[in-house]
Amino acid sequence: MDYIFETTMEVRDYECDIEGIVNNANYLHYAEHTRHLFLRSIGVSFAQLHEQGYDAVVARMKLDFKTPLRCDDRFVSRLALEKDGLKFIFHQAIYRESDMQLAFRGDISLVCLYQGQLARTSPYDEAFQRFLQ
């Protein structure tokens, strides 16, 4: 996979369940935060686009949980991007930093809305153009 962005984060104790591993839902938070950091890194403000009437919303997720993360683990979150019709598909992976074991992989599809209606083009198309082949 040709990743176009990565960031490093750390598991916080309150993200773990009674088994001492990261609760599944938190991986979605990590993936979303990675997408927002990616937007910021290319000069796109999710909040400003929302104020202009543009919203990128999750339409579908395919998730695989591999190796559990635990409290205080540091991890690397990466993403790649493709476009399929109106959907942007973020291929995301999270690796435990200590041994680079794959912890999570997800294909997260987003569509863009303009003032609540499905948009054929959006500022996201322009912002992502250089990353799409």
Q: What is the mean pLDDT of residues 115-124?
A: 91
> One-letter amino acid identity for 79?
L
Q: Which residues pair with 7 in a beta bridge?
A: 77
For the segment 48-88, what is each residue's pLDDT rounded down to a tens digit?
Answer: 999 999 999 999 999 999 999 999 999 999 999 999 999 99
| pLDDT at position 100 | 98
Comparing 7-11, 56-60, 117-121, the range with the smallest average pLDDT is 117-121
Integer Cα distance of 86 and 80 in angstroms: 17
| pLDDT at position 1 | 83
pTM of the full predicted structure? Answer: 0.94
| pLDDT at position 121 | 83
Integer Cα distance of 42 and 19 in angstroms: 38
Q: Is 92 exposed, middle or buried (0-12, 13-18, 19+ CB in 10 A)?
A: buried
Domains of the chain, earliest start first: 5-131 (3.10.129.10)
| pLDDT at position 61 | 98
